[in-house]
Structure 1
């Protein structure tokens, strides 16, 4: 509606000015040498952004928003809590936001919490091309703008969602005030796999290695290329790193090497902050938030509480 109002206002303005004999309607009216249309455009765009932020801070349920010209599926629960950050959940590769519905509902009992389908996942549009961290980060920024405005957020990601959150936070320290990484994809997965499962490997271990390397090169629903990179600091923020207890039992010959690789990668994530803490989810496989929902909820709430205290 605001877009229509803008066009109508410009037509009325042009006619009114022309009626005074100052300018013809074919010309672009200016103020201080600046086109009035440009000024109106900027003002309306600002108003739309403000309106989106208000709507995003209040809606409950599932809706579609636009991000980078694509439709993104977004779901939120809970009411904004005074002084506490908005919690945003990021699922792993191949998972839509429905996978984290129980976690979102439980966290929503005390906090404002949202999750979304990345491009290629769930009910969101397919990506237009191969994606990298910067591309996924632009969509995440649009989501944060909608649900939190310029307010603080805590990102809680599982697997690939954890890696995306951890790579995003260092470049957005103005808004990301806490991280929870639930068995996040490790910082150097390609190099780790090459060392843990050599080319001479056969059977299930070789299949696991080859499928993972192919997925890392973009053969996944998101067309997301997972690149090895060093861990960068996200500032002095609270960071909870949670790793599984057992995951690679199906490849017993290389299981210990893979477990060692994964554990070392979780240790590397601690470099995100001097306030990082690593825990092991006893009895859990890769899906920590379903195997140990109690631990996941506790970690997210604890990080959110610390982040809120930091803002006071």
Structure 2
């Protein structure tokens, strides 16, 4: 079995986790994501130019980088421990014919740091205010990686008229909370404590919040790319059961949508092959007729 890029947890207390430059986050749950996270110029003046810079979103500022033009706009949502640079491959592949925007959530990249715990709804409010401040108008095609999937789900249900499609890159799903229930103690307790050291300070309640939002998800085209290279987990974890639940969640999620599509990719959680991701985004644009 190949698998999640993580090392078995040591005995209590858990060691401090180090965040890499690029996130090495597993497709399990918020708790497991934490264990695996081991893996200012102002905006341009011209309204027609692709916006780049810091924008005030109400008490703090977020950094946005857009290139190209066209509609719908591709908006990249990075995972925990990541930043907008994780979406650079989209700028390279699509900005010659599409508008592509990447941004840093709070406490990441060039965005401001805050001390308040972050939830999905706060992240969604920030993103909505950011796009409005920068003059990036809907419709949007969301490309959501890892934990960004929960943000994408919540954004789409909060602003259903703004999102025309979503491509999810081995993204977190609300049902992943079920996986936490089968993890042995004291592992789950210890990694939960480690949440405070993560830069974004996302509350565990984000899973439940996105779960409630999922029931209001509009029937838009959704493509889910699931990474099948599962890394080794600690020997006392039920690896086969975790893999089975993970794949079950993929199937159940895409089944919610008339134009839901599941693509299993022979890839680690991060990064997924650019060519595969780009091909699925091209397919989505064809489906949308744009």
Both proteins in one fold, TM over 0.5: yes
Q: 1:235 to 1:227 in 2, by over 3 A?
A: closer
Are 1:104 and 2:91 counterparts?
A: yes
Which segment drifts farther, 88-97 or 148-157? 148-157
Partner of 1:86: 73
CA contact (8 A) 1:248 1:258 kept: no
Distance 1:148 1:240 in 2: 27
Which segment drifts farther, 119-128 or 172-181? 119-128
Partner of 2:245: 261
Offset of residue 125 of structure 1? 0.7
Cα root mean square deviation, aligned: 2.6
Partner of 1:59: 50
Are 1:298 and 2:279 counterparts?
A: yes
Partner of 2:122: 135
5+ long unaligned stretches in structure 1: 1-51, 201-205
Greater share of helix: 1
Are 1:159 and 2:150 counterparts?
A: no
5+ long unaligned stretches in structure 2: 1-42
Distance 1:55 1:305 in 2: 31
Query: Aligned to 1:221, what secondary structure does the other structure show?
Result: coil
Q: 1:63 to 1:149 in 2, by over 3 A?
A: closer
Match runs of 1:116-127 below 5 Å: 116-127=103-114
Query: Aligned to 2:174, what secondary structure does the other structure show?
Result: coil
Distance 1:220 1:56 in 2: 36
Match runs of 1:3-18 below 5 Å: none
Q: 1:142 to 1:127 in 2, by over 3 A?
A: same
Distance 1:211 1:177 in 2: 40
Partner of 1:244: 227
TM-score (normalised: structure 2): 0.74
TM-score (normalised: structure 1): 0.69
Are 1:69 and 2:59 counterparts?
A: yes
Offset of residue 189 of structure 1? 2.8
Partner of 1:270: 254
For the pair shown, the structure with the greater C-alpha radius of gyration is 1
CA contact (8 A) 2:124 2:155 kept: yes
Structure 1 residue ranges, 4+ long, deviating more than 6 angstroms after superposition: none
Q: Greater relative contact order: 1 or 2 (C-alpha under 8 angstroms, separation 6 or more)?
A: 2
Distance 1:138 1:255 in 2: 36
CA contact (8 A) 2:169 2:272 kept: no
Q: 1:250 to 1:199 in 2, by over 3 A?
A: closer
Offset of residue 178 of structure 1? 0.7
Q: 1:53 to 1:305 in 2, by over 3 A?
A: farther
Offset of residue 221 of structure 1? 1.1
Which segment drifts farther, 168-177 or 140-149? 140-149
Distance 2:196 2:123 in 1: 13
